[in-house]
């Protein structure tokens, strides 16, 4: 969560009219294509169906906020909102079709084709519109004038963020502060210049030459902030406070409230609400498909493990799961013995404990396949920070700042760290710190698309067999 991406007015945008028109055209066009699978449908019937579909979609869009301004927001969030809007609109449309008997006339191919094609077309149209909008804004069209109140490190960072994203259409009007230059941060030439004092800022806002004001004063300057807010209350400028705690590393920040009292999260699980539901559905769907795909190989592996060494086929090791709760992780046994002791020793290259079959299983990651059962029972996810042995957690939590924050999400069979070169043994503190850094990045930047990319990259990592022994 950054001050630039979230601190931008989200009221209805002038572009929302274009978005509504394009979405309506897409819905109607996809419907006329799908009706080709149902013979005998006339123009009047198509118009009636299109009008009903567009009305329902727009009604749901008002509830989901689809047509608010997405200036500065990530494209993934906008596309997710489109999918959710369509997901809620479809049952309503099908229900109306049943009540009016329209559904009875439509073939299965028509209904299925329209339900699937329309969201894909809506997503494609929005991507094209977003790119066009970014091009216009980068060339100076549809821009808004921004004033940064506070010549300090946070203000400089905010200016850099604005300058690095011209597609946002936010044009810096300058820095404003009452303090003399010797008491403020030196302004690099590339971020802008001083625009004047706070009085001059208020006057510019009253004239309408300033559209947005970002206040970057430290939170301890409460009286100065209150006085400035009182003055800016007599203007039409949109005003945002950029709290100085954003200069710290936040795991996942979001605003919420406790009975009307605003609070902001610092360390939080990103997978709440709809996002959590989407990830769980993806885990169940893909997990079941993987289990069906690998059922026969798993039976073969189980038989070979049992036939080639003494001991059980599987072993279950204690690991930390979501929020640090203990879970038992399933694996094919690849060693002559396995333990959960406090003296746990990580597997190393040419480890004498690893059996011949176990070495092959570990190189190909086949020993991890039983963790699909953990995914299905909900204790793990397909993608997430790899679960470490309990003894490992206790060792590193005192050595690496924020180590335990990796447990804010479910552990995964694979993860971002593993596809970024931190698979296998972490024999040095630097390597473990690198793994934790990518685990934190995964939690901050999670998206369903990121999960799919990691799963695809995992196939290449496994085939290369790097770092596994």
pLDDT mean for each 10 residues of the chain (469 residues): 40 71 94 87 84 92 82 78 90 82 78 92 92 77 86 90 78 89 87 90 90 89 90 88 68 65 71 79 93 92 87 86 89 71 53 75 85 94 91 85 88 93 78 91 88 91 66
3-state secondary structure of 359: helix
Calculated CA dihedral for residues 430, 436, 438, 442, nearest 10 degrees: 180
pLDDT of 6 reads 42
356 shares its domain with 446: yes
211 shares its domain with 354: no
pLDDT of 9 reads 42
Boundary-marking domain end, from 138, 171, 198: 138
Q: Whole-model pTM?
A: 0.61
pLDDT of 385 reads 94
pLDDT of 10 reads 44
Number of H helices, E strands in the chain: 16, 11
Determine contact, residues 332/302, Cβ cutoff 8 Å.
Answer: yes
42 shares its domain with 127: yes
116 shares its domain with 172: no
Boundary-marking domain end, from 88, 106, 138: 138
Determine contact, residues 15/117, Cβ cutoff 8 Å.
Answer: no
pLDDT of 290 reads 93
Round to whole Å and give the CA distance between 356 and 305: 10
pLDDT of 347 reads 54
3-state secondary structure of 327: strand
288 shares its domain with 429: yes
131 shares its domain with 225: no
- Residue 256 inside a domain? The answer is no
Boundary-marking domain end, from 76, 103, 138: 138
pLDDT of 250 reads 62
- Residue 265 inside a domain? The answer is no
Q: Is the dihedral of CA 298, 299, 305, 306 positive or negative?
A: positive
Round to whole Å and give the CA distance between 49 and 42: 11
């Amino acid at each position: 969560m950054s001050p630039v991406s979230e601190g931008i007015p989200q009221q209805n945008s002038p572009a929302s009219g274009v978005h509504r028109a394009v979405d309506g055209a897409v819905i109607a066009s996809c419907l006329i294509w799908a009706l080709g699978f149902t013979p005998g449908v006339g123009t009047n019937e198509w118009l009636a169906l299109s009008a009903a579909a567009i009305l329902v979609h727009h009604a749901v869009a008002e509830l989901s906020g689809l047509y608010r301004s997405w200036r500065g927001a990530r494209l993934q969030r906008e596309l997710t909102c489109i999918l959710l809007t369509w997901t809620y609109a479809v049952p309503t449309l099908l229900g109306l079709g049943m009540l009016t008997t329209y559904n009875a006339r439509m073939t299965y191919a028509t209904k299925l084709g329209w339900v699937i094609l329309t969201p894909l077309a809506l997503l494609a149209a929005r991507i094209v519109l977003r790119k066009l909008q970014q091009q216009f804004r980068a060339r100076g069209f549809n821009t808004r004038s921004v004033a940064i109140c506070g010549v300090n490190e946070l203000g400089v960072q905010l200016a850099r963020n604005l300058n690095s994203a011209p597609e946002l259409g936010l044009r810096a009007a300058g820095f404003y502060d009452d303090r003399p230059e010797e008491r403020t941060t030196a302004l690099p030439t590339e971020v802008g210049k001083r625009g004047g004092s706070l009085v001059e800022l208020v006057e510019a806002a009253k004239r309408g030459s300033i559209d947005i004001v970002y206040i970057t004063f430290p939170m301890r300057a409460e009286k100065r902030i209150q006085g400035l807010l009182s003055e800016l209350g007599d203007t039409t400028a949109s005003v945002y406070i950029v709290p100085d705690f954003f200069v710290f590393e936040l795991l996942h920040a979001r605003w919420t409230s406790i009975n009307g009292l605003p609070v902001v999260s610092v360390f939080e699980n990103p997978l709440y609400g709809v996002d959590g539901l989407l990830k769980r559905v993806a885990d169940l769907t893909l997990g079941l498909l993987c289990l069906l795909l690998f059922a026969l190989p798993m039976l073969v592996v189980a038989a070979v493990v049992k036939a080639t060494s003494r001991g059980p086929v599987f072993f279950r090791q204690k690991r930390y799961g979501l929020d640090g709760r203990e879970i038992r992780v399933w694996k094919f046994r690849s060693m002559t013995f396995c333990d959960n002791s406090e003296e746990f020793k990580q597997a190393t290259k040419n480890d004498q404990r690893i059996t011949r079959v176990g070495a092959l299983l570990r190189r190909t990651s086949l020993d991890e396949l039983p963790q699909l059962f953990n995914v299905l029972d909900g204790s793990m996810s397909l993608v997430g920070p790899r679960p470490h042995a309990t003894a490992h957690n206790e060792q590193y939590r005192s050595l690496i700042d924020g180590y335990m924050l990796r447990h804010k999400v479910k552990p995964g069979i694979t993860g971002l760290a593993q596809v970024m070169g931190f698979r296998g043994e972490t024999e040095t503190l630097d390597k473990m710190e690198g793994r934790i850094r990518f685990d934190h990045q995964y939690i901050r930047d999670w998206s369903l698309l990121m999960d799919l990319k990691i799963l695809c990259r995992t196939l290449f990592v496994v085939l290369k067999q790097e770092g596994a022994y």
